[in-house]
Structure 1
Amino acid sequence: MTRLPALLLWLCSSAAFASPPVQLDVQLERGNGPEPATLDAHRCQEVACGNVLRDLYEGLVTEDARGRLIPGMAERWTVSRDGRVWTFTLRPGLRWSNGQPLDAAQVVASFRRAFSPATAAPFGELFDALHGARAVQAGEVPPASLGVAAPDARTVVFTLDRSAPLPALLTLPIAFPVYLPAVAQYGAQHTRPGQLVSNGAYRLAAWTPQANLVVERNAHFHGARDVAIERVRFHVTEDAAAELQRFAAGDLHVTEVVPPQPLEALRTRFGAQLRISPYIGAFWLGMNLTRPPLRDNPALRRALALAVDRDRLTRYITGLGEQPAYGIVPPRIAGYTPASTTWATLSQPQREAQARALYGAAGYSKQHPLEIELRYNTSTPHRRMALAVAAMWRDVLGARVRLRNEEWKVFVGNRKQRVITQVFRGGWIADVPDARNFLAAFGSDGPLNWPGYDDAGFRERLAKSDAANTEAARNAWLRAAEQRLLNADAVVPLYFYTSKHLVDDRVLGYEANALDRHASRWLRLRP
């Protein structure tokens, strides 16, 4: 047997056991949907900004490529026996992207800023278990009353009023630390390149409105040596068909969505590059319950819900594995049995017959048709969906439907204000895999209650779920709350999402996960 020289043996063994070398000077091109409404982590409320913020920031807890919770800024944490006191120990030597030290006191100050009334954080209500959170957001008590404290430079303690899945909640952008000196100096402009200071794997390098954002590897990130991709460019890709063509031309490594097309044709064209997987998300149409014609008209709302053929919608319009929805909470949430509309078991002809009868009972007919506006944000899939639903309402009921599409930021503002909206594109993507996450917004008059649903019975059931002593009892009360919401026809469930992307063969480390989050720090590019 030939004996290898000692140096060659050492090199071979080192290559076999060493981590793959960090690949620098490469750029990942990602489609990202609409222009992010903001890069203020505490004000983010949509996927487009969340994708970028998860590259720029890291919370106390984060997720790996498969969506599993792992340490972030905190190297470890403990919880009291009653589930109400959580103690997090920070990693030593944490720094901001500008090199300044990051300690527990700054984490606490950032949380206080997130929940202050001036910030108006839209996801604040998801933290209603945090002591003082609601009162602070309402301006009833000062931010210092929030149940977050820093007993020393490396310890953050949270006090809750009831048990809650706090580590999962801490992965949300509202829980990211914001660099308050920049906020004090630049105000709303602290999110601009050269002014945004973050703590994640990347730092903001450039932002060209309605075109793209570029982030660069943050040398001060605690895990910087394991971040393989030097730069990431997030492209604004509101037109899904154009995004697909850019991918086919080699301009994008990853798409945000895939436009509705025959599934077999897509598989034939793209093969293993087409990634479709289960996703905890629900798509529905919201109804403005604060203004006519939908306010105080349950018969009309039910008629509109019944007239939609969800099987046709998911088979021919979306067509990428979506499941017809008759509820708000998607399947696949552990321990929870979703509620369903009372008419889900009827055939479509039976539903349509009921829809016509209710339409007439609501005071409408061929001679006096309903005139209503369906509003959606600019997007190829949403336009196809709106056209299909409008056609169903016209054919089944004789309604006259005006379609109104708006750029994302305008749409979000109008939907939140509930002034000019009638029927609008809604839905929810899970922030945490918990049924309550899909229902909580309807229990208050907060910025996420787009229909303006106001029902004491719903709030009572939500409160009883919070007070439940067992997980089974909690889920039972949540299901009762969901059923009450469905019985009121405040929304029209359409389908449950699948995640669907095109991923270039050169991209390594892209893993399917139930929340469809793919931080760039876990990815590599094959040369």
Structure 2
Amino acid sequence: MPSFKHFGQGGNVIFSIGKSPDRNCRICIFAVGCLTLEAVLALKWLTQIEWHVTQSEETLHMQLLSIRKWVCLCLLAFATGAASAATINIHNGGDPTSLDPHKLSGDWENRIAGDIFEGLLTENAKAEAIPGQASQWSVSDDALVYTFSLREGIQWSDGTPVTADDFVFAFQRLMNPETAAVYAYLQYSIKNAEAINTGAITDLNELGVKALDDKTLEITLERPTPYFLGALTHYTAYPLPQHLLETAGDDWVKIDNIVTNGPYTPVDWVPGSHVTTEKQAKYYDAENVKIDGAKFFVLDDESAALKRYRAGEFDILTEFPTDQFEWMQENLPGQARVAPFAGLYYYVINNSKPPFDNPDVRKALSMSINREVIGPQVLGTGELPAYSWVPPGMANYDEPYSVEWKDLPYADKLAEARALLDEAGFNKDNPLTLQLRYNTNENHKRIAVAIASMWKPLGVQVELYNTETKVHYDELQRGVLDVARAGWLADYNDADNFLNLLKSTVEHNYGRYNNPEYDALVDKANATVDTQVRAELLHQAEKLAMDETAAIPIYYYLARNVVSPRVTGFEDNAFDVHRTRWLELSE
């Protein structure tokens, strides 16, 4: 153990703690002794203190008071198994596009945003909605008007109070077409939100979000929305610091300018490398936030991430190479965590580009994928095959619609797929060629290689093409694809969160599926109060999209995390949301 030396201001009182098998015991005795000046003499023997006193007794007394404060902290550090307030290192996958909540769309961005901002509601360790910036709320009898009371004393990280006007400002900015927020549709249940976002209404003040006073916010809905409170935990519902945006404009989000209202605030961002946060002292529950900060690392290579985890560089991996699962179970017992959660892994097909605008071609590609082997054999972690667009278990949606050919033997599926392609004019002499895109990731590559081999008996020639995550989704957004890998994780517990993805007006509809009948069914469902009737309308919409192979569902997600034994408070949950606020880090 290195020696501890204390120097008083202008003095030279020196304490050197020598090495000894019972040094922890001696340190504890030393701490107790420091509580009184008289005990110092006794400590000389107990701790082998080498000392020189040239100051007055009064000066020495002040120095000892300083030592006493230091030792109190020292005692905490020496306690066996004590929690550490150090920075937690998290493998985060992709590179964030921005720290602006209105510019985000990926789960790798959500992990950061949910640590530095907080909405009216937030998530607990189990990803359940709990009070956030709002301490309480009430709902009108017709379930259309929600009135929220903000907590007393909530502040931005620069000390400016968080007010109801900050929420009004943020919701109006979200719906302003000039913001071009790709996720704005998530809050379309708010009165006039869709009309404003699509330009039908130009007055932002017509949005159903009003500040009744600094601490009271009223939100009026278009229709009763059972999932509305859950949607308020999403980053599209975070407040924004109006005072900063009005002076700094788009530069408000730069690391030297940004202020936040969550448990943490960003202090460093190196694009392509990491984002670093530190505990936000003005957060209302700061005293219960155990970890001092987090570092979110950009790294798409899962094998490299696992190596760095084993070297102690990471405390949490948000993904791992599935071919290493068995090894991790044996060599890292209890650290590789696999749990079901509400998400869909799927392939996008460009519905607007020949020959993929032909439903028979799309159906052939979907039928010829042997989903039954992907989870247990290709990945090795047991993901369940997906034949529906909505994952099972969504609230008020008992039975998702599965494609009619789900239970056919695989040989029959392959034969029908071959016949469909032949009818479309594709055969050995005129093979279907396509580019299959995926974001750089070993598991995505493994799946793409397997599916390309499943298409090969049909004569389909596949070019595999991969890019880093940000570029991949930018290109999907622009429609630069034949077939491409994508995925969706539930933002709230409702089937419409998945079915909205296939609406023609939604920017996450990467495949450009466009069916007015489908749009009308989803819109009608979302305008329906009766939950049973609503579910039936959504079911009809799902059947229509699956019968036309609007996209190719492949499997339902399993969350795959690796968590160090040093980390406590990490709870597997259906949304795979794990805010740093609820975690602790031990030595």
1:438-485 deviation per Cα after TM superposition (whole angstroms, max 9, x unaligned): 001222322111111111221222123123332222112111111111
Match of residue 239 from structure 1: 301
SS of residue in 2 equivalent to 1:197 = coil
TM-score of the superposition, structure 1-length normalised?
0.93
Q: Contact between 1:22 and 1:227, CA under 8 Å: does it hold in 2?
A: no
In terms of mean alpha carbon deviation, does 467-476 or 396-405 score higher? 467-476
Q: 1:387 aligns with which of 433, 442, 449?
A: 449
Moved over 4 A (4+): 21-25
1:278 aligns with 2:340: yes
Show the counterpart of 1:312: 373
1:30 and 2:90 aligned:
yes
Asked if 1:146 is matched to 2:207, the reply is: yes
Distance 1:200 1:62 in 2: 10
Distance 2:536 2:487 in 1: 22
CA contact (8 A) 1:258 1:502 kept: yes
Residue from 466, 482, 489 that aligns with 1:429:
489
Q: Tell me, yes or no, if structure 1 residue 174 matches structure 2 residue 240.
A: no
Q: Specify which of 416, 422, 430 is matched with residue 477 of structure 2.
A: 416
- CA change 1:469–1:104 in 2 (3 A) is closer
Question: Aligned to 2:419, which of 346, 357, 364?
Answer: 357
**Stretch of structure 1 that moved more, 501-510 or 268-277:** 268-277
CA distance in 2, matches of 1:432, 1:22: 36
Correspondence for 2:107: 47
CA deviations 1:399-447 (Å, max 9, x no partner) are 11111111222211211121x3111112211000111100012223221
For residues 214 and 314 of structure 1, the distance between their equivalents in structure 2, rounded to whole angstroms, comes to 35
Give distance in 1, aligned partners of 2:422 and 2:527. Answer: 43
Give the aligned partner of residue 483 of structure 1.
543
Q: 2:189 aligns with which of 122, 129, 132?
A: 129
| 1:468 and 2:528 are equivalent in the alignment | yes
1:331 is displaced (CA, Å) by 1.1
Amino acid at match of 2:376: R
> 2:283 is matched with which residue?
221
Q: In 1, distance between residues paired with 2:370 and 2:111?
A: 33
Kindly indicate whether the alpha-carbon contact (under 8 Å) linking 1:22 and 1:225 is maintained by their aligned counterparts in 2. Answer: no
* Mapped partners of 1:253, 1:168: distance in 2: 29
In structure 2, C-alpha distance between the alignment counterparts of 1:174 and 1:132, rounded to whole Å? 16
State the match for 1:328 in structure 2. Answer: 389
The residue identity in structure 1 corresponding to 2:555 is Y
Instruction: For 2:391 and 2:240, locate their aligned partners in 1 and report how far apart those are by CA, in whole Å.
Output: 32
> More displaced, 467-476 or 373-382?
467-476
How many Å separate the matches in 1 of 2:240 and 2:300? 28
Question: Residue 347 of structure 2: SS of its match in structure 1?
Answer: strand
**Aligned twin of 1:447:** 507
Instruction: Assess if the C-alpha contact under 8 Å between 1:253 and 1:504 holds in 2.
Output: yes
Structure 1 segment 4-15 matched on structure 2, within 5 A: none
Between the two proteins, the alignment pairs up a number of residues equal to 505
Whether the 8 Å contact between 1:23 and 1:230 is mirrored in structure 2 is no
Matching of residue 347 in structure 1 with residue 409 in structure 2: yes
What's the secondary structure of 2:333's corresponding residue?
helix
Q: Which amino acid aligns with 1:322?
A: E
TM-score by length of 2: 0.84
Code of the aligned partner of 2:286: A
2:78 maps to what in 1?
none
Does the 8 Å CA contact 2:187/2:236 hold for their aligned counterparts?
A: no
Deviations 1:54-110 (A, max 9, x none): 000000001100111110000001111221111110001110011111111121111
Q: Which amino acid aligns with 2:153?
A: G
State the one-letter code of the partner of 1:235. F
Q: Does the 8 Å CA contact 1:22/1:226 hold for their aligned counterparts?
A: no
Find out whether 1:70 has 2:148 as its counterpart: no
Structure 2: segments with no counterpart, 5+ residues: 1-31, 33-80
Structure-1 separation of matches of 2:502 and 2:566: 43
The alpha-carbon deviation at position 269 of structure 1 amounts to 1.8
Structure 1 CA distance for aligned equivalents of residues 566 and 476 of structure 2: 39
Kindly state the Cα deviation for residue 25 of structure 1 after the two structures are TM-superposed: 4.2
The equivalent residue for 1:11 is none
- Residue in 2 that maps onto 1:520: 580
Instruction: Find the aligned partners of 1:524 and 1:490 in 2 and give their Cα distance.
Output: 44
SS of residue matched to 1:314: helix
Is residue 86–residue 157 contact of structure 1 (8 Å, CA) maintained in 2? yes
Q: Residue 486 of structure 1: CA displacement?
A: 0.3
Alpha carbons of structure 1 residues 137 and 38: separation in structure 2 relative to 1, 3 Å? same
* Distance (whole Å) between structure 2 residues aligned to residue 301 and residue 506 of structure 1: 47
Superimposed CA distance per residue, residues 290-329 of structure 1 (whole angstroms, 9 cap, x where no aligned partner): 121211x111111100111111222222221211000111
Q: Given that residues 223 and 529 in structure 2 are in contact (C-alpha distance below 8 angstroms), is that contact kept between their aligned partners in structure 1? A: no
What is the Cα deviation at residue 24 of structure 1? Answer: 6.2
Aligned with 1:257: secondary structure?
A: coil
Query: Does structure 2 retain, via aligned residues, the 8 Å contact 1:22–1:228?
Result: no
List alignment gaps of at least 5 residues for structure 1: 1-7, 9-20
Letter in 1 for 2:154: L
Q: Name the aligned partner's letter for residue 329 of structure 1.
A: V
Of 213, 221, 229, 1:160 maps to 221
Note the alpha carbon deviations across 1:182-239, whole angstroms, 9 max, x for none. Answer: 3344443322222111100000010111111100000010111111000111111211
Moved more, 129-138 or 430-439: 129-138
Q: 1:201 to 1:57 in 2, by over 3 A?
A: same
> In structure 1, what is the equivalent of residue 177 of structure 2?
117
CA distance in 2, matches of 1:255, 1:407: 18
CA distance in 1, matches of 2:91, 2:251: 25
Q: Is 1:456 paired with 2:508?
A: no
The offset of 1:274, in angstroms, is 1.4
Partner of 2:165: 105
Secondary structure at the counterpart of residue 86 of structure 1: strand
